[in-house]
Amino acid sequence: MMKQSKAKFFSRSGLTSLTWFISLAFFFPIFWILLISFRQEKDAGTFPPKWLATFSFDNYSSVFQKGATTFLLNSAIASIGSTLIVLMLAYPAAYALSIKPIYKSKDVLTFFLSTKFLPPIAALLPLYLILQHLHVLDNIWALTVLYVSMNLPLSVWMLRSFLKEIPSELVEAASLDGASTRTILYKVLAPISLPGLASTALICFIFSWNEFLLAINVTGFHAATAPVYLVGFVTAEGLFFAHLAAVSIVVSLPVVIAGWSAQDKLVRGLSLGAVK
Amino acid sequence: MNMNTKRGKLAIVAASVTAIVAGVFTVPAHAATTTINVLMVGNPQMKDLQSLTDANFTPDSGIKVNYTVLPENELRDKVTQDVASGAGQYDVVTLGMYDIANWGGTGKLKSIDSYVASDSAWNKADVFPSMIKGLSGADGKLYAAPFYGESSMLMYRKDLAAKAGAVIPLHPTWQQVATAAAKMNDPKNGVAGICLRGLPGWGEQFAPLTTVVNTFGGTWFTKDWKAQVSAKPFNDAVSFYVNLLKKSGEKGATQAGFTECDNAMAQGKAAMWYDATSATGSIEKAGFSNYVGKFGYSYAPTVKTAYSGWLWAWAFAIEGASKQADSAWKFISWATSSKYENLVGAKLGWTAVPDGKRASTYANADYTKAAAAYYKVVLGSLQHADPLNPGVQPRPTSGIQFVAVPEFADLGTAVSQEVAKAITGGQTVTQALAKGQKLAEVVAAKHKA
């Protein structure tokens, strides 16, 4: 008995240590970026690293002097806007594909997935030309629409998985009580599927916030987003690691805050549906 | 406040959004009547320009300048998209000499000849003839105004050379450089004898390497478009470069481009570096380098030619589709003027001046005092760089470290990848260049036809 509990203890300790090791290994690059963001350029690229170099806030102050706020705001508009639209469209679509499957719902799902088969780079030229002819190049609302189309198929699939977990008896009971489809969707199912909605929203937000290919190609000055601003600090001549690290931290913060503020729902959501 | 409570989290999210919005609405308003969009590469001199425009150009001209700053490769893609499609998102685009050779005369860029002729303050006579030549199209028209120019030179640590007993003349040969590198190579203390670009890329590895090829008597193509990549002089040059890197070069050379070598010099991890003259802007800058004032400078090393430094300029051109061409020129005229150089000197220091394009810069006592260690070598290198005759034989196009045809970017990058394999020992230089020869023959056949 003693032997068994000892083995259990070591197995638990081993797992805990392994978890800590993996967590620290994942966190180390972020810690490293944070560390060099407070360094002068001459100390940022040293190998082996200098742990006790001069501490400075200069890199952070220069980030905002160079107009980061406009880019951050553009990212916020495109990410939040596209996420809201995606949720508005994907939630009823997921209902129609899971709770009360429509005719040929499997074909519809396959079609949604097929839109992700084409690499985005392959669609770039026609997209660019369409936007040019519509006179909406460098337009934040056009970028928002592109992000909606980018995230919609995945969101439908994710929300469908969450909704399929809900017992069908619940919907049947609501129907028997005379609830309309809208009432079932927004008053019966929505509160239960909140973790799923939150995790889908967060993933859409993260994908949109970090998206680079479309942003750099279809925006210019007015609609450029945070990743475009970030890459502007990369130079072929001169040192830039410390500045780039500071901008990376600033650009990553909104995603970190969003993830952290929704962490309870995110964990519940991700462990319930799509990745179950 | 407990940050893990719902209220705490909400407060932080709200504070973040407020900070972003507040930042946007506190941006100062400009009394500008016209706005132009400028696409610019993210080099330090351009970032200085960005920081000085609102306070110094806009109030005088009434022109607000919106900058989009991108790294070199992304900039080229963006320029190609915007210029080729005629989208006209940008009034002014930043182009290098190689790009001008490809775009000039296609009708996609406006010639600036008429603006230059009517703008006496810009003073064309003050601009180096090599710059005017390099920024003109095949039709002889000028398509861009140089913002800064550069050649290549050898930079070395004087203290390490003295300690190792290495002699580095003002006009060294590559053999002398190899001898000095071997003497200064100190792997035990983590100091490479020389740092050279090994990172694949036509503008990375093959920028310095093509100048080595030129001075060894090689060329990419003959005047009548015969590919020469596997010819003996080309092979000798690449073999020399690869052996020098293997014997006295930096560790992980195939990952080292300008930035990595710049960092190595600033950190004292390399004793010599052959690269762009504009590197002085960082290795001689406090806060960037630990060895300010300890560097010596020599001309680009040679073998069969008298000089072998490259020639490059980042320049501003007006897009053919721009509807604000006059305002665009006003901006270009200001940014590339000696008046702007004086402004940078006064505000940011004389070593930050975007130099290498005007004779007057090198007659300015403030500048020559600040750049005393290197300005004569830079000036001499720029004056002797000849983009039409950079080697020992006539060439089919202009360009010292590049061949001015659109296919060269892909060709140079593909061959550099093969050379990188030779540096790491994956194949011999002869094998690498045999593959390169086949690729070059395809390009040659196209242009021969």
- pLDDT tens string A58-115: 889 888 777 789 999 999 999 999 999 999 999 999 999 988 888 888 888 888 888 8
Question: With 0-12 CB in 10 A as exposed, 13-18 as middle and 19+ as buried, what is A15?
Answer: exposed
What percent of chain B has pLDDT above 70?
A: 93
3-state secondary structure of A138: coil
Model confidence at B21, pLDDT cuts 50, 70, 90, reads: very low
> Residue B213, CB half-sphere, CA atoms under 13 Å: how many?
25
- Low-confidence winner among A69-83, A113-127, B207-221, B309-323 (lowest mean pLDDT): A113-127
Query: Mapping DSSP to helix (H, G, I), strand (E, B) and coil, where does residue B45 land?
Result: helix
DSSP letter (8 states) at residue B172: -
| Strand B63-70 relative to strand B109-110, pairing | unpaired
**Distance (Å) from the alpha carbon of A43 to chain B's nearest alpha carbon:** 8
Distance of alpha carbon A200 from the chain centroid:
9
Q: Is the pLDDT of residue B9 over 60?
A: no
State mean pLDDT over A263-268: 73
User: If 0-12 CB within 10 Å is exposed, 13-18 middle and 19+ buried, where does residue B105 land?
Assistant: middle
pLDDT at B198 over 70: yes
Number of domains in chain A: 1
Cross-chain CB nearest to B259 (options A69, A224, A239):
A239
pLDDT recorded at residue B3: 46
**3-state class of B267 per DSSP?**
coil
Chain A residues within an 8 Å CB radius of B44: 235, 237-238
Q: Specify the CATH number of the domain B152-310+389-448.
A: 3.40.190.10
CB A244 within 8 A of CB A44: no
SS3 B36: strand
Query: A197 by DSSP, 3-state: which?
Result: helix
pLDDT of B364 reads: 96
pLDDT at A271: 64
**Mean pLDDT confidence for B114-122:** 96
Partner-chain contact A222 B66, CB within 8 Å: yes
Which pLDDT value is given to residue B32? 61
The predicted pLDDT at position B8 comes to: 56
The boundaries of the domain holding residue A116 are 66-272
* Mean pLDDT value across residues B67-95: 89
Measure in Å the smallest separation between the Cα of A262 and chain B Cα atoms. Answer: 9
Q: What is the pLDDT of residue A45?
A: 74
Inspect the interface and report whether the beta carbons of A261 and B290 lie closer than 8 Å: no
Contact yes or no for B258 and A221 at CB 8 A? no
Looking at residue A238, its pLDDT comes to 75
Residues B346, B169: Cα–Cα separation, whole Å: 34
Domain boundaries, chain B: 34-143+312-370, 152-310+389-448
Q: If interface means Cβ-Cβ distance under 8 Å, which residues of chain A face chain B?
A: 40-42, 45-46, 64-70, 72-73, 76, 128-129, 132, 137-138, 216-217, 220-222, 224, 228, 231-241, 253-254, 257-258, 260-261
Nearest C-alpha of chain A: how many angstroms from B68?
A: 6
* Residue of A73, A237, A238 lying closest to B24 (CB–CB): A73
Q: What's the pLDDT band for A275 if we cut at 50, 70, 90?
A: very low
Q: How far apart are CA B395 and CA B220, in angstroms?
A: 9
* Euclidean distance between CA atoms B437 and B220, whole angstroms: 9
Q: Cα B350 to the chain's mean position, in Å? A: 19
Q: Smallest CA–CA separation between A72 and chain B, in Å?
A: 7
Is the pLDDT assigned to residue B12 strictly greater than 60? no
pLDDT at A159 over 80: yes
- Nearest CB to B44 within list A64, A132, A238: A238
| Residue that has been written with the tokens 């182009």 in this structure | B95
Say yes or no for a CB contact (<8 Å) between B68 and A221.
Answer: yes
Q: What is the pLDDT of residue B22?
A: 47
- Find where tokens 């980018």 sit: A150
**pLDDT cut 70: percent of chain A above it:** 95
pLDDT for A3? 67
The DSSP secondary-structure symbol of B153 reads: E
Q: What is the ipTM of this complex?
A: 0.79
CB contact under 8 A, A232 and B13: no
Cross-chain Cβ contact B288/A72 below 8 Å:
no
Confidence at residue B262, expressed as pLDDT on a 0 to 100 scale: 92
Q: What is the mean pLDDT of residues B1-25?
A: 51
Asked if residue B264 lies in contact with residue B290, where contact means CB atoms within 8 angstroms, the answer is no
For B90, the closest chain A residue by CA position comes to A220
Model pLDDT, residue B13 = 53
Q: What is the reported pLDDT for A226?
A: 95
**Burial readout A60-90 (b: 16 or more C-beta within 10 A, e: otherwise):** bebbeebbbbbbbbbbbbbbbbbbebbbeeb
Do B434 and B230 contact (CB within 8 A), yes or no? yes
Distance between CA B294 and CA B298 in Å, rounded? 14
> How many residues make up chain B in this entry?
449
Residue B224 has pLDDT above 80, yes or no: yes
Distance CA A98, CA A106 (A): 10
Pairing of the two strands B312-319 and B145-150: antiparallel
B448, pLDDT greater than 50: yes
Chain B residues whose beta carbon lies within 8 Å of the beta carbon of residue A232? 42, 68-71
Architecture per CATH, domain B34-143+312-370, reads as 3-Layer(aba) Sandwich (3.40)
Which parts of B121-278 are beta strand (E)?
A: 145-150, 152-157, 272-276
Selected for mutation to probe chain A from B89, B204, B255, B348 (highest A CB count within 10 Å) is: B89
Q: What number of other Cβ atoms are within 10 A of residue A191's Cβ?
A: 9
The amino acid sitting at B30 is H
Report the pLDDT value the prediction gives residue B185, as an integer from 0 to 100: 97
Cα Rg, chain B, nearest whole Å: 23
In a domain, A52, yes or no: no
Question: Does residue B154 register a pLDDT over 90?
Answer: yes
**Of A15-24, A163-172, B123-132, B347-356, where does mean pLDDT reach its minimum?**
A163-172
CATH number at residue A219: 1.10.3720.10
Comparing B44 with B11, the larger pLDDT belongs to B44
Chain A residues touching residue B81 (CB < 8 angstroms):
128, 217
Q: Both ends of chain B: CA-CA distance in Å?
A: 76
Interface A:B, Cβ pairs < 8 A: 124
- Segment A192-248, tens digit of pLDDT: 888 899 999 999 999 999 999 999 999 999 999 999 999 998 887 878 889 999 999
pLDDT at B7: 56
pLDDT exceeds cutoff 90 at B16? no
Alpha-carbon distance of B422 to B253, in angstroms, equals: 11
